[in-house]
Amino acid sequence: MNNIVLIGFMGSGKSSVGKLLAEQTHRTYIDLDQKIEEDAGDSIPNIFKKEGEEGFRMRETEVLRELSSRDSTVISTGGGIVEREENLSVLKEHGPVIYLHASFEEISARLQEDESRPLWSKPEAERRSLLEKRLPVYKEWADYLVNTDQKSIDDVVAEINSLI
């Protein structure tokens, strides 16, 4: 059984959707950010502090490559997976790429109290700019787009199941 790859901005629902999707499709679930933390023995905020965003992105690509040999897996990527062009070919090897889209307003509501995301702590204008920069890349890289605004996790998973 092939893999399913979830991409999208932070707060779009990749982790929540990925877990349920894996359960319903009898696949293993892997959260790329969690795997990076496990391999590094450190949190993402600390990796950002110690190595900067570029160091984190290098780790992200390495872990993604390691996962390319897996099968029957739902892979939830970090929101910045699209920051490195070389990740595209690796993602496409995994299986269908599904972009979980959420509006800036929806993301803001979901992440209101979340302090674990280094890029979300930046001023609102920078966060909006980052989303606007990544939006066309998410769309370009995706085989399917699923809007998660105002939808339950069950509804999003059902929509993905109807697409794959």
- Per-residue pLDDT averaged across 117-125, rounded? 68
More confident of the two residues 113 and 132:
132
pLDDT(2) > 90: no
Q: For the segment 70-80, what is each residue's pLDDT rounded down to a tens digit?
A: 889 999 999 99
Provide the mean pLDDT of the chain. 90
In tens, the pLDDT along 20-66 reads 999 999 999 999 999 999 999 999 889 989 999 899 999 999 999 98
> Which structural domain range is residue 86 located in?
4-163
pLDDT value at 1 more than 70: no
* 73 phi, psi to nearest 5 deg: -130, 140
Across 5-9, 110-114, 153-157, least confident range: 110-114
Cβ–Cβ under 8 Å, residues 96 and 4 = yes
Residue 48: CATH number of its domain: 3.40.50.300
Rounded distance, CA 21 to CA 108, Å? 24
Residue 135, SS3?
helix
Q: Domain total for the chain?
A: 1
Picking from 28, 119, 128, 123, the residue whose alpha carbon sits closest to that of residue 78 is 119
- Residue 104 pLDDT exceeds 70: yes
